[in-house]
């Protein structure tokens, strides 16, 4: 098996268990690639996170895809279900998915910066590893929520009352939906709750930007 075969959702760990996380942006050979920082469940060490990714194959959000034999936070290795996949195939697939489905150029947000900054600490920690990852999720949320607040204020001033009302209604409905989904995810193993919150926030930012750029009243 090629060392550079990508890990995808539901792939296994060497001590059994499985990968729970996945990229929200791309599909590779019918399944979603797993990313550095995503949750995994190790039968030997309980819930953990993916601690390594291949820097040359990031998804749209800037998070690198993890590969065969890369490690999670408890040092167990991942086992790819793909045989002898050439790395260029993965890179081409990720690029096509990004260019065709999403028009915006990937940016390195606060979450990705934090995951990069704390990579050594996460790889070498013996306790409290989850707190390091949660810090990155929190930084990512703040990095997104602040510009949403500013955009909301700008829409009220520059786009008019109808657009401001649309924004307020959208944010209210999004908050209600995110809260309900978050309560369900809180009872699930791994990082699905934090990952959902971060992805929801990214969607909110994209949609508020859409309202600002498209709505005129």
User: Would you say residue 122 lies in a domain?
Assistant: no
User: Would you say residue 192 lies in a domain?
Assistant: yes
Given a contact cutoff of 8 angstroms between Cβ atoms, the answer to whether 175 and 208 are in contact is no
The Cα–Cα gap between 132 and 206 comes to 27
**Full pLDDT tens readout for the chain, 217 residues:** 444 688 888 899 988 888 987 776 666 777 888 888 888 888 887 788 899 988 776 766 678 888 889 998 888 899 988 865 554 445 545 544 444 433 343 445 788 888 888 888 877 877 777 888 888 889 989 999 999 999 999 999 999 999 999 999 999 999 999 999 888 888 887 778 888 888 899 889 989 998 998 898 7
User: Would you say residue 112 lies in a domain?
Assistant: no
Same domain? 85 vs 134: no
Same domain? 203 vs 167: yes
CA 70 to the chain's CA centroid: 18
Same domain? 100 vs 140: no
User: Would you say residue 55 lies in a domain?
Assistant: yes
Same domain? 160 vs 88: no
What is the pTM for the complete model shown? 0.54
User: Would you say residue 115 lies in a domain?
Assistant: no
User: Would you say residue 88 lies in a domain?
Assistant: yes
Total domain count for the chain? 2
Same domain? 81 vs 143: no
Q: Is 112 exposed, middle or buried (0-12, 13-18, 19+ CB in 10 A)?
A: buried
Domain that holds residue 42: 12-104
Residue 133, pLDDT score: 83
Among 104, 137, 158, the domain-final residue is 104
Same domain? 34 vs 93: yes
Q: Could you tell me the CATH number of the domain that includes residue 87?
A: 2.60.200
Same domain? 16 vs 100: yes
Closest CA to 68 of 56, 80, 76: 80
Among 40, 69, 104, the domain-final residue is 104
User: Would you say residue 117 lies in a domain?
Assistant: no
Same domain? 202 vs 145: yes
């Amino acid at each position: 098996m090629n060392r550079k075969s990508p890990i995808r959702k539901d792939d296994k760990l060497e001590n059994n268990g499985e990968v729970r996380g996945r990229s929200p942006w791309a599909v590779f050979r019918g399944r979603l690639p797993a990313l550095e920082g995503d949750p995994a469940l190790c039968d030997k060490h309980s819930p953990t996170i993916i601690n390594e990714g291949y820097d040359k194959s990031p998804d749209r959000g800037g998070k690198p895809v993890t590969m065969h034999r890369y490690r999670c936070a408890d040092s167990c290795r991942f086992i790819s279900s793909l045989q002898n996949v050439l790395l260029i195939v993965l890179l081409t697939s990720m690029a096509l998915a990004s260019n065709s489905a999403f028009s915006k150029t990937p940016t390195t947000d606060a979450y990705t910066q934090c995951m990069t900054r704390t990579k050594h600490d996460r790889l070498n920690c013996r306790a409290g590893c989850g707190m390091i990852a949660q810090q990155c999720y929190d930084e990512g949320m703040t990095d997104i929520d602040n510009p949403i607040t500013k955009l909301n204020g700008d829409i009220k001033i520059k786009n008019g009352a109808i657009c401001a009302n649309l924004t307020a209604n959208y944010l209210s409905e999004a908050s209600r939906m995110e809260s309900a989904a978050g309560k369900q995810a809180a009872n699930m193993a791994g990082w699905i709750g934090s990952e959902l919150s971060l992805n929801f926030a990214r969607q909110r930012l994209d949609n508020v930007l859409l309202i600002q750029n498209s709505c005129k009243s």
